[in-house]
Amino acid sequence: MNTMADSACISMSRWPVRGILSVLGGFLVHLTLSTVYVFGNMNPYVTSYLRGGDENSTVRYTQTIWISIAQSISMAGSMPVLGLLEQRIHPKYCALIGSWIFSLGMALTYWTVRHSLGLTILTYGVIHGAGKGMAYPAAVKCGLEWFPKRKGLVTGLIIAGIGGGTFVFNEVITHFINPNNLLPETSHRGDLYFSQSVLLDKVPYCFLLLGGVDAGIQLFAVLLISKPKPGAPENSTLTEDVHQSSALAEDVHQNSTLTEDIHQNSPLIEDIQMNQVLQGSENKENNGESEALEVKPSSNDERKTDFAPWEVLRTKIFYLMWIIFLCVVLGIFFVTNFYKTFSQTFIKDDHFLSLAGSISSVLNALGRPFWGAVGDRLGYRETLVIVCIILGSASATFTLCEYGGKVMLIIWMCLIYGTFSGFFCIMPSLNVSIFGHKYYSSNYGLLMSAMIVIQIVGGLLTSQLKDTIGWKGILYIGAGGVILSMFLSAGMMIHHRRQRKKHRM
């Protein structure tokens, strides 16, 4: 009986109720942040509205893509600011402030979209993106502090809200703006646009609807989020388990076998090994291939586990991760922003294209906890390689959907969304695994600075090359970036395994 009671107590300590509620709150925050990812579905409506039904309007998809670019640049730029703010106030309040800035940008677009593209970029791009940049990591951070040994799974569960929200809001937007499944009537230089006033008149009100709904959900979500007291999170449960459970106590003599199993199978050892790499070695043999900082141990010989941004910027592995991030996001940028614009050229069904985006977003949601769990089990670098292989293959063959029709489009969209969700789950987990929890928001913000570069590059490539190489050529450029990242991530994995083997010797 005592053993059963002890086991129940251990189980509760591993999954505390407040920790579960924090994860749920983070999930709901990310559910609302998903409205950024519906831009691919929203873009034809917004661009057509800004054109005002005028066949001679200069507003084109190559111009409105700067709304999405402004979102990503503003998001990446606001993350380091969040890191400083988190040192002064509770992360849940950071999440609320960021969330409401996000919703404010959406609601203000009700007025700005009526006037000009420039003002729309300011509200739907800059303000909207800055809010997401503050709320995104703050909502994740509390969950990671409750369950530090389940980084991949917890990160995946929280950011799965983005995929789930995309599914919901894609359908809400399409059925609110275009309930009668009207088709684009105007063609200009190979692009299709809506001109029906019954459809275009609803576009501004859609922004008002989304802004209000998001703000209400965000307030409820933040009330669920809390931060564990010092010593309360899961990282103390391993010691408690040994002392509290008589069953485990009887197996203490098997410590040598257990240690060997951990070294062979557990992804947790990845943290220890990378900390050794970060610490650096006084031995010249190991110092030659160190990929990070040389950090002197403290007087009590404790290993450093949290690295400040200025220390992270001195590591080689950060820049490798940054380039991988850059290459993968290039491919994601083109598919998510232009899948509907490209598909409209061979599929004449607006509701179906919206449905394809919604179904693929379900895979986006399910893929995040799935790949997070795989990363916890298999290792973050190994999982990253698998994700890049699948994503690169699907991106390189996406243009064949023109010949495969509706069925192939849905399958390929699910493959792409189901795997890039894994990328956005693995990278935060890898970031925490290497650089620690304390400066997570600032350090991940440094990594997200790649978004600034890729958004500008992506926008320039689209505006300058689209008329020359078409949507297919643009999509092939993105696929090339993902394939390059596949080789880089494989090299990072191989190098890490060699370092680990060297430290064991």
51-62 in b/e form (b: 16+ CB < 10 A) is beeeeebebbbb
- Amino acid identity for residue 457 in this structure: V
Q: For each of the chain's 505 residues, which pLDDT tens digit applies?
A: 455 444 444 444 566 788 888 889 889 988 888 876 788 788 889 999 998 755 546 788 888 888 988 887 888 777 766 666 766 777 778 888 889 999 999 999 999 999 889 999 999 999 998 888 888 777 777 777 788 777 777 877 887 787 778 878 888 898 899 998 888 888 877 788 888 889 999 999 999 999 999 999 999 998 888 777 765 545 444 333 334 333 333 343 444 333 333 333 333 333 333 343 334 333 333 333 333 444 444 444 445 677 888 888 889 889 999 999 999 988 888 887 788 888 888 888 888 888 888 888 788 878 878 888 888 888 889 999 999 999 999 999 999 999 988 999 999 999 998 898 889 888 888 888 888 877 777 788 788 788 778 878 888 888 788 878 888 888 899 899 999 999 999 999 998 888 888 777 6
Q: What is the pLDDT of residue 123?
A: 94
**Angle 496-154-269 (CA atoms, 0-180°, nearest 5)?**
30
Indicate left, alpha or beta for 186 from its phi (over 0: left) and psi (-120 to 50: alpha): beta
Report the alpha-carbon distance of residue 366 to residue 360 in Å, rounded.
10
Q: How big, in percent rounded to 5, are the helix, strand and coil portions of the chain?
A: 80, 0, 20
pLDDT at 301: 41
Total residues belonging to the chain: 505
Q: What is the DSSP letter of 189?
A: T
- Cβ atoms 39, 336 nearer than 8 A: yes
pLDDT at 232: 53
Classify strands 186-188 and 191-193 as parallel, antiparallel or unpaired. Answer: antiparallel
Euclidean distance between CA atoms 485 and 487, whole angstroms: 5
Instruction: Give the pLDDT score at 416.
Output: 92
Strand partners, 192: 187
Can you tell me the distance from the alpha carbon of 112 to that of 354, in angstroms, rounded to the nearest whole number?
25
What confidence score (pLDDT) does residue 22 get?
Answer: 87
Name the residue among 24, 68, 78 with its Cα closest to residue 444. 78
pLDDT of residue 111: 94
Cα–Cα dist 343/104, whole Å? 31
Q: What is the DSSP letter of 122?
A: I
Distance, in Å, from the CA atom of 64 to the CA atom of 43, rounded to the nearest integer, reads: 7
DSSP-based three-state secondary structure for 118: helix
Distance CA 223, CA 162 (A): 19
If one counts every other C-beta atom within 10 angstroms of the C-beta of residue 22, the result is 28
* Rounded (10°) CA dihedral 73, 107, 160, 472: -60
Q: Would you tell me the crossing angle of helices 17-33 and 128-146 to the nearest 10 degrees?
A: 160
Determine the pLDDT at residue 482.
92
